[in-house]
Amino acid sequence: MRFWIIPLVVLAGMGLSVEAGLLGPLGSQVGHLWATLGIFAIGSLLLTFGLIFGRPRLRTLFAQPRWMLSGGVLGPIYVGALTIATPHIGVGLTMVGILFGQLGSSLIIDHWGLLGSAKRHVDRYRVGALVAILAALWLIH
């Protein structure tokens, strides 16, 4: 395994907590949907800038099975949930809840090899990690 992957995902997770911290107050000021739109607009501008200098692959993108593109629906739902939940329950509880949901669904996807991913055995240690996160969710609440 490449040594830089784990720090990369830890930093990405840290970024999500910062994003949640930003979205809560922004949503309270401008409305949850407007805050979600604003975050996606900035992200879209940055991605568009990157695509301008990259080789266009739109034909390849839209040649993929439609279900693969359905993930685009999940991003706004996720950001909307962060925007709504964070002011009410705080960044910590929001992120632990998100983490529990992510790990639970990830274990199912890995175990069954769903969505085109490789099958990875879910052992008692991985289930134990899920239970520990559930305990953290209960303790933080």
Q: For the chain, what are the domain ranges?
A: 11-140
Helix (H, G, I), strand (E, B) or coil at 76: helix
Give this prediction's pTM. Answer: 0.79
Q: Which SS3 state, helix, strand or coil, does residue 117 take?
A: coil
- The pLDDT assigned to 128 comes to 97
Question: ∠ CA(9), CA(88), CA(37), 5° rounding?
Answer: 60
- For residue 138, the model assigns a pLDDT of 93
The pLDDT, as a whole number, for residue 56 is 66
**Top-confidence residue, 50 or 97:** 97
- Amino acid 59: pLDDT: 79
The pLDDT score that the predictor gives to residue 1 is 63
Report which of 80, 87, 91 is spatially closest to residue 25, judged by C-alpha positions: 87
Segment 73-130, tens digit of pLDDT? 888 888 889 889 999 999 999 999 999 999 999 999 999 999 888 999 999 999 999 9
Q: What is the per-residue pLDDT for 102? A: 93
**What pLDDT, in 10s, does the model give residues 23-45?**
888 998 999 999 999 988 998 88
pLDDT of residue 30: 94
